[in-house]
Amino acid sequence: MRHGRILRLARTYRADLAWVVFVLANLAAMQLIPEWQTVPFLVIWISLTAVYGWRLWRLGSALATVLMITLVTGGLIGWQVLRGKQDLDYLAEVPLLALLFVVMVWHSRRRLAALEEMKRVSDHNVTLLEQQRQFLQDASHELGTPIAIALGHAELIERAATDNAIAADARIAVDELLRMRRLTSRLLLLASTDGPEFLRLTNVDVEEIVVEALRRWNHQPRRWSLGPLEETWVFGDADRLTLAIDALIENAVDHTEPGDRIELSACRDGDEVVLAVADEGSGIPASEVSRIFSRFSRIDVGRNREAGGFGLGLAIVKAIAQAHQGSVRVNSTLGKGSVFELRMPASKAVVESLPALDGRPAHR
């Protein structure tokens, strides 16, 4: 049992033991071969620095080791100075090198402490994000049932009311409950963006998604139009992409007036598919463009409460774009409108099947 324990310790500390043997050999060289002068002495300190950088001994062990090396090498050099075999200046190198090593240990410990603190903060942030995600999921599920019950009763009151004032109040309640249901659905969606089942990937016809979106929204009193519409495909989730374009269209509707133009388009730009929604709305101040895709971000340029500013809709678009290895961007002029672009990698299988012109993929 004892023999096995000794072998395990020897395997664990074999690098340290090898270094001790190396140091003893150089100490012997310092004593037996004085004409080598500072070579063995410097080699000992260089090896100590290298071993510490690799092993990162505890502070107490490092200081004890440097003290031992200082005393042993200093003693040998002092003995050689007394015998007249070395100059007195040689002895001054011992405390200088020891001080340099201690300073290096101090900086290494500070850096190690900083890295440990960064890891602690990072782990804490990961825990907080997971708790936030779980809270959003739980809250969305818990709110769903009471909202559905309240919405059902409000709709019954609206239909059954004989008093116009009561019917109008019930209609307001229905609208607000519908708004709350959309909010909880979006919260649940955002909470699931990091989940492994967030996307169900297949080749998706982007042109078809744009056309279907226009059919769903053309009842809104806007001047609807189709811009460039090419045969474009992405390897993605059709349902999630539909949610993204609906969010962009909803944003355009909320921030335009009846009669304003809203244009949908889908085209190729190199290896990317660009799905765009352009409007003639109020536009976005330049100072706000960088934050409109953040969750719960809202800006105020005279928008009414029905429009509601920017909230979770654009954050969902960004999450869906990133899940598809893409991005979302906006070009906006205050008072003239905005163009939102959802950019995603084109489906490679479909790109390779398209005919080539002059060695380049053909755009349809």
- pLDDT tens-digit profile of 143-184? 888 888 998 999 999 999 888 899 999 999 998 898 888 888
- Residue 251 token pair: 């944003």
User: What's the CA gap between 62 and 68, in Å, rounded?
Assistant: 10
In contact, 259 and 223? CB cutoff 8 Å: yes
Contact 201, 235 (CB under 8 A): yes
pLDDT tops 60 at residue 189? yes
Residue with the bigger pLDDT between 115 and 6: it is 115
Q: Which two tokens stand for residue 120?
A: 């602690």
Residue 291: pLDDT above 50? yes
Residue 42 pLDDT greater than 70, yes or no: yes
Kindly state the tokens that stand for 104.
């290096």
Q: Would you give the DSSP letter of residue 362?
A: P
- The band of 309, judged by pLDDT with boundaries at 50, 70 and 90, is very low
Q: Which residues pair with 233 in a beta bridge?
A: 205
Q: What is the predicted pLDDT for the residue at 6?
A: 63
> Domain map of the chain by residue range?
2-86, 202-361
Inter-residue contact 233 to 273 (CB < 8 Å): yes
8 A C-beta contact, residue 242 and residue 210: no
Say what angle helices 312-323 and 164-191 make with each other, to 10 degrees. 30
pLDDT per position as a tens digit, 80-131: 777 777 677 777 778 888 888 888 888 788 888 888 889 999 888 888 877 7
- Residue 361's pLDDT is 42
Class for the domain spanning 202-361 = alpha beta
The widest CA-to-CA distance across the chain, in whole angstroms, is 119
Terminal Cα distance for the chain, rounded: 78
Categorize the per-residue pLDDT at 220 as very low, low, confident or very high, splitting at 50, 70 and 90: very high
d(CA 73, CA 96): 13
pTM: 0.58
Q: Cα Rg for the chain, rounded, in angstroms?
A: 36
**Mean pLDDT over the full length of the chain:** 81
Residue 264 phi/psi, 5° resolution?
-110, 145
Residue 355 contacts residue 292 (beta carbons within 8 Å):
no
pLDDT reported for residue 145: 82
CB 321: neighbour CB atoms within 10 A?
Answer: 23
Is residue 295 pLDDT above 70, yes or no? no
Q: With H, G, I as helix, E, B as strand and everything else as coil, classify residue 86.
A: coil
